[in-house]
Structure 1
Amino acid sequence: MKSLYCFLILLAAAASGNAQEFTKQMTTARTAYSSGKLEEARFAMQQMMQELDIISGKELIGLLPAKLDTMSANTSADAVSGTSGFAGVVVHREYGKAKPDGDVPAQVEIITNSPLISGLNAMLSLPLLGNSPDQKVIKISGYKALVTKQHSDGETPEFEVQLPLNSTLITLKAPGYSQEKIIALANTLPIAEIAKRVQ
């Protein structure tokens, strides 16, 4: 238990913005545990884990490129949110200026620590999946990914790239881009660096 506390203290020291909240929750957890209030200690530990998720999400969003093709990142729309239950953190970044209808030219989302991702990993290992006209299995930075044709109201089909890394999912959406172009965009993402952080 002491080694866990030491590890968590080191992580807290590395993260400047959320360190005070993290330390406060750790103190609360330790005090509650010492007093035998296990439910309070557990809740404080959950809050600490959520803070760690936010810190790791901010690190991930810092890895994303400032430009995607000719589109600049809209950093004011960056979002990092910790969740409980199905995922650890959700990271969202948009590229380009929003259109009058509210659509965004491109967006990248990363969902970490989700047990639901294992289903996509299993699907990618099926040999028949790559033969579908609406889905194609590709490799990006040595990792299998799935390109899916999205059915839209417009005449031009839209595509989405989903790349699972164990329990993490990276999704790229770029409406109006062809299949070849969205694959090229996906190949500009720092997948290897993201993989190091989440594995």
Structure 2
Amino acid sequence: MNYSLFDGASDLQPWTEDICEGALILRHFSVLHEITLLDGIRQIMIKHPFRQLLTPNGHRMSVAMTCCGEVGWVSDSKGYRYSTYDPDNGKPWPYMPDNFFSIAVQAAEEAGFPDFKPDSCLINQYQVGSRLSLHQDKDEKNLGAPIVSFSLGIPATFLFGGMQRTDPVQRYHLAHGDVVVWGGPARLRYHGVAPIKEAAHPLLGTQRINLTFRQAK
């Protein structure tokens, strides 16, 4: 990934789109931080590459992932959980870069969650056709803290439902630089990502990178 021709400058003006109480989208929020974020991802994936995890029932996820922070999210035959080490190599997850932490905290504050202190960042890699089924983020010990999710690269359709899997689902187009934040009464809403459609982005080619910050411990 070569980012040298891009300096993060953008004419896009940030604005906020409300989803429901406790959930919103910060449009274009991270465009000015794109080089910082992408350089950080590149350093992390050198030692902890993207990999497609297995679900507890043995299916391989279409989304590849890696992590940074005090703990990382893992999935295998033992279930879904947070771990202090990368199960692929037995080494601790890399330290969350200070600028990752500060950008995530800033996004949370903009969304109305001023006390966010993320200790885990899941970094997901979506290729064309990748999808994420509706699910709840409920493996975190601190459910009072929000989820802060950054989108980079090609667009995605974010699915945001209710407290039950069968509740109606809203669909939101997410572009490069958009950040979704949900917490409070929306914290355990079901959400997912529709299959990624073919597209290209000047920084990331035909992939989408999603950084999801959590306060897991």
| TM-score of the superposed pair, with normalisation by structure 1 | 0.31
Task: Give the number of the structure with larger relative contact order, counting CA–CA contacts within 8 Å between residues 6 or more apart.
Answer: 2
Greater radius of gyration (CA) = 1
Greater fraction of residues in helix: 1
Provide the TM-score with structure 2 as the length reference.
Answer: 0.29
